[in-house]
Amino acid sequence: QQPVQSPQAVILREGEDAVINCSSSKALYSVHWYRQKHGEAPVFLMILLKGGEQKGHEKISASFNEKKQQSSLYLTASQLSYSGTYFCGTEGGSQGNLIFGKGTKLSVKP
């Protein structure tokens, strides 16, 4: 029941935009997004609850469509500091632990 992320990797130039998708085969009530920079621990970006609300962090926003069981992370006018691997997390077992997708590696070039 691991969520599926796409694309697996993306390369951008500074200032370009990107979209990272996360989909699940099961019904969701929340989606969590984290970013991990090389050699560092993952860091929380945002949680989205069902209702389709969008959240934002810097120039990063996300949407959650519970009917389609998917979420998208939008990176606008990317900066070098956005480089890293982005993980989405969804509820896993019967008691709701958090499980993550395999990640999307984002590289922003000057």
Partner 1 sequence: KAGVTQTPRYLIKTRGQQVTLSCSPISGHRSVSWYQQTPGQGLQFLFEYFSETQRNKGNFPGRFSGRQFSNSRSEMNVSTLELGDSALYLCASSLLQSDLGKLFFGSGTQLSVL
Interatomic CA distance for residues 5 and 19, integer angstroms:
11
Query: What DSSP string describes 40-85?
Result: S--EEEEEEETTT--EEETTEEEEEETTTTEEEEEE-S--GGG-EE
In the complex, the smallest distance separating the C-beta of residue 83 from partner 1, rounded to whole angstroms, is 17
Nearer to partner 1, 16 or 50 (CB): 50
Phi/psi of residue 60, nearest 5 degrees: -110, 125
In the complex, the smallest distance separating the C-beta of residue 15 from partner 1, rounded to whole angstroms, is 28
Classify residue 6 by its DSSP letter.
Answer: E
| Cβ atoms within 10 Å of 20's Cβ, excluding its own | 23
Q: Is 69 in the site for partner 1 (CB under 8 A)?
A: no
In the complex, the smallest distance separating the C-beta of residue 38 from partner 1, rounded to whole angstroms, is 12
Contact positions with partner 1 (CB under 8 A) in 22-41: 30, 32, 34, 40-41
Number of residues in contact with partner 1, rule: CB under 8 A? Answer: 24
In the complex, the smallest distance separating the C-beta of residue 110 from partner 1, rounded to whole angstroms, is 26
Interface with partner 1 (CB under 8 A): 2, 30, 32, 34, 40-44, 47, 87, 91-103
